[in-house]
A and B are shown apart, each in its own frame.
Chain A
Amino acid sequence: MVNVGGCEEGDENMSEILGLKAKLGLDVFKADKEAHIKIKSGMEKDARLKRAVLVCPAGLYSENAEGTVEFTIDGCLECGTCRLACGTEVLEWNYPGGGSGVQFRFG
């Protein structure tokens, strides 16, 4: 089993996340100037953030050993699910700027 980025989760979860990265790699993404979704400062340990770990179809939220939720914007499908699950008190949420972010070729 390859160890990626110091991730210490179980084998099943690891292989799942690796497969997901490859799947997201099939999509066309255009970089934005800054992240369009941010965890609001001071909210990193808010329990509502843990919902995003389960609901995000791109698996962009993960919980580390200290119980803090970490987030990466790369691979965001702009589905809006994290905003609905966690709410706007914990997430600063906007769509990426015009002409950036995911560009679906099939949809």
Chain B
Amino acid sequence: MEKFDVIIVGAGLAGLAAAYTLAGEGLEVLVLERGDYPGAKNVTGGRLYLNPVREFFPELWKKAPLERFISHEGVTIMSRERSLTINYEGDELRQEPYQSYSILRAKFDRWLAKQAERKGAMLVDKTRVDDLIKEDGRVSGVVAGGDELYADVVIACDGVLSLVAEKAGLRQPGKPEDFAVGFKEVIELDKTVINERFGLEGDEGLARMFMGEVTRGKFGGGFLYTNKDSISLGLVVGIKDLMQGQPAVQAPLLLDEFKQRPEIAVLIKGGETVEYSAHAIPEGGYKALSKLFGDGILVAGDAAGFSMNIGVTVRGMEYALASGYYAAQAVIAAKKAEDFSVRGLAVYQELLNQSFVMEDFKNFQEAPYALDNPRIFQHYPEMLGNMMRDIYAVPAGPKNRLYPTIKQYLGLGELWSMLGDVRKVMKI
């Protein structure tokens, strides 16, 4: 009978962070990955913020295959025929240690897996976990590729749907209102073209969010990140809004429309799409988190629901790395106490509660409600676009004064509705 200290399901960021940490402490760790290699099934927008997780893995970052550090931030508010873009540059974004990097997961996860293997973790790819082995109600292993594999603890890091956590009875199949779908193209462009087109030097990178017409007013938005020699361009749309129609539009068509916008077409001109990818994303926040532990099992990363959209930032990878790290710490503590039951593994919840992970999820628990507001994605972008049009317009005759130009959009009814929306958004 094959027995390990820990079996980790899924070689994504949570699973690899756990494997790296556990193997570093000398535990026998097996990571099972269904893809041809770690990262083969993993998708990000994407950008990784390093500050929250830097000190968990101090020796890791110097050689990490990240793309560009983000020195240019921006947001574009899109209405049907016009858009308003705000760019932000700050000296702090150009100073080391850099706050965030663009990232491509197939490359990064493969590298991270190598680091975990170097610490002594065992990685088996091309292997899907089909079931859990339970003895007296506690999880004692997995069935994978026809083999029974045993461990003191199984860590479910199998991503957003987490069929493993479902089989353990720790979560139910997800509801559409708690998830979004992200889909993107990786568009190759010469490095010098990217730098000239976006006004970047060397390894500087740009991140830009898009909201409004880009999702036809549905919950979500667009994103553009510059990688070393490619651009990641895509959309994130709430599944509930997408499936309800109003207007009914097929998801892939939204991305086509996005690419055809003149503001975007000019940025990707001459580029060659080399991959199209998609992934569901947890967006239900605190209330939608799964149970985090059971007898002989822990849940980390997207599998637990650790991903969060607060409008200005959409983050998941830091929570995956951190929850994987804390899952490993919990296993180490449980091993010392020789107790892998619910009681012994409860330390995972305590560690998370004391960390930025649960602090963030509690602090931002109102965000999903505040952002579930079509006016944010439809009405305001359209109004703002029209306002800008009137401000910049110079007619044949005399030009209207600026204050009345703006004020015509802000009648009593509008101000009253705005106040309501602002009060909701103030809870974020």
Chain A residues in contact with chain B, CB under 8 A? Answer: 13, 16, 19-20, 23-24, 26-27, 30, 51, 53-59, 77-81, 83-85, 87-88, 94-99, 101-107
Contact = CB atoms under 8 A, between A and B. Distances in A.
A19 B249 CA distance: 16
Interface of B: 34-37, 39-44, 104-107, 109, 125-128, 144-145, 159-161, 163, 173-176, 179, 181, 183, 185-186, 230, 239, 242-243, 245, 248-253, 255-256, 273-280
Given A80-B160, A107-B44, A27 B251 contact: no
B259 to A, nearest CB: 10
B280 A80 contact: yes
A106 B181 contact: no
A81 B278 CA distance: 9
Contacts of A107: 39-40, 42-44, 104-107, 109, 275, 277
Interface of A is mostly: loop
Contacts of B39: 104, 107
Contacts of A88: 173
A85 to B, nearest CB: 5
B273 A23 contact: yes
A16 B259 CA distance: 13
A104 B173 contact: no
A50 to B, nearest CB: 8
Given A98-B127, A107-B104, A107-B105, A83 B250 contact: no
B41 A59 contact: no
A94 B243 CA distance: 21
A54 B127 contact: no
23 contacts: A13-B250, A23-B273, A26-B274, A51-B176, A54-B243, A56-B250, A58-B252, A77-B277, A79-B183, A85-B176, A85-B242, A97-B34, A99-B126, A103-B36, A103-B37, A104-B40, A105-B106, A105-B275, A106-B107, A106-B186, A106-B274, A106-B275, A107-B107
B276 A24 contact: yes
A56 to B, nearest CB: 7
A24 B277 CA distance: 9
B42 A80 contact: no
